[in-house]
Amino acid sequence: MSNLGKFAIVIIIVIIVLGILSPLISRHPHNLPSGSALESPSWEHWLGTDDLGIDIWAQICHGARASTFVGAGTALLAGVGGSIVGMLSGYLGGDSDRIIMRISDMAMALPDMPTTIILGAFFGPSLKNIIIAISLYSWVAPARLVRSKVLAIKEENYMKAAKSYGANFWHMTKVHFLPQVLPLIAVSMIRLFSKAVVVEAGLSFLGLGDPTSKSWGVILHHAINFKGIYFTEYWKWWLVSPVFIMMSFTTSLAIISRELERLWNGKIEWI
């Protein structure tokens, strides 16, 4: 792995640790005032305070927990679930495969962000509901990737021999399919993780996120709604901080995804 990839791993680990240990790392609460309103960055408040006097550094640390929870939940639900659907579709073939692919075609035809906004408004402002809303259309990409790989593996002679000896789907998945599609699943989950963090921030920015989560998107939403934010110096710490950490996190995930592709020497195309 390149030095850039190692650096990206360090950034991801640091941000995840910030989320897990946020009560210990931040000296002030993330949801209660701990100083005067709109204080500039200082030794007491590293990134200043917002209009309510709440420490922004504490909000950033706690927001890392909320944003990574959404990313990890979406990666597991859509990545693993979509991969299982893709393996079943490729293995079964016939009418089952055609039905699953037509459903995936309809899901792919829907525009991502408008669909997420509608689903987010329908399910309500909750981190779990946001995970469900994003996963309802994000499963398509890993499903189609895994399906295409399974279709190729299924035509190998050793697979035909295993099937003639009575090997069932779960045995063939464990012994033959999973070891070969695991790189695809891993890369898909990393990309879904990054995508979910951005989508959650977008929903929260529009006011459809969980207002109690203090995610990075919620911080941006509150900052943008503050009147005169661009005519004062408050934007330098109130807006730049969550944008910077979110960009660092998603960029690092993209770098790791590319490094894994190179490490496995596989040409993985994102369908």
Each residue's pLDDT tens digit, 125-165: 788 988 998 998 899 999 999 999 999 888 888 887 887 87
Task: Kindly indicate the confidence band of residue 166, based on its pLDDT and cuts at 50, 70 and 90.
Answer: confident
User: Is residue 105 scored above 80 in pLDDT?
Assistant: yes
Residues 4 and 235: their CA atoms lie apart, in Å, by: 30
Whether 15 contacts 248, CB under 8 Å: yes
Q: Are 88 and 80 in contact (CB under 8 A)?
A: no
% of the chain at pLDDT higher than 90? 40
Q: What gap in Å lies between CA 141 and CA 79, rounded to an integer?
A: 9
Inter-residue contact 86 to 144 (CB < 8 Å): yes
Residues in the chain: 271
Question: Mean pLDDT throughout 165-183?
Answer: 84
Q: Name the band, by pLDDT with cuts 50, 70 and 90, for residue 228.
A: confident
d(CA 122, CA 197): 20
Residue from 127, 139, 136, 135 nearest 19 by CA: 127
Question: Is the pLDDT score of 222 beyond 60?
Answer: yes
Average pLDDT, stretch 204-232?
Answer: 84
Identify the residue with better confidence: 231 or 180.
Answer: 180
Q: Residue 243 — very low, low, confident or very high, per pLDDT cuts 50/70/90?
A: very high
- Per-residue pLDDT averaged across 64-74, rounded? 91
Tell me if 146 sits within 8 A of 185, measured CB to CB: yes
Q: Quote the tokens at residue 190.
A: 């990393």
- Name the β-bridge partners of 49: 55
Contact by Cβ (8 Å): 213, 127: yes
- Over residues 46-52, the mean pLDDT reads 91
CA 256/CA 259 separation, integer angstroms: 5
Residue 269 has pLDDT above 70, yes or no: no
Closest CA to 44 of 219, 36, 52: 36
Give the residue carrying structure tokens 């393996």: 87
pLDDT value of residue 59: 93
Question: Do the Cβ atoms of 138 and 195 come closer than 8 Å?
Answer: yes
- 245-262 pLDDT, tens per residue? 999 999 999 999 888 888
pLDDT bucket at 108, cuts 50 / 70 / 90: confident
In this prediction, residues 229-252 reach a mean pLDDT of: 88
pLDDT average, residue stretch 85-99? 91
With contact defined as beta carbons under 8 Å apart, do 4 and 255 qualify?
Answer: yes
CA separation, residue 266 to residues 91, 175, 184, 205, 260 (Å)? 22, 20, 9, 37, 9
Cβ–Cβ under 8 Å, residues 134 and 78: yes
Q: What is the pLDDT of residue 265?
A: 63
Averaged pLDDT score across all residues of the chain: 87
**Alpha helix stretches (DSSP H) within 110-139:** 112-123, 127-138
Q: How far apart are CA 75 and CA 52, in angstroms?
A: 34
Asked whether residue 271 carries a pLDDT value surpassing 70, the answer given is: no
DSSP structure string for 222-236 = HHHTSTTGGGSSTHH
**Domains (ranges, CATH) in the chain?**
3-263 (1.10.3720.10)
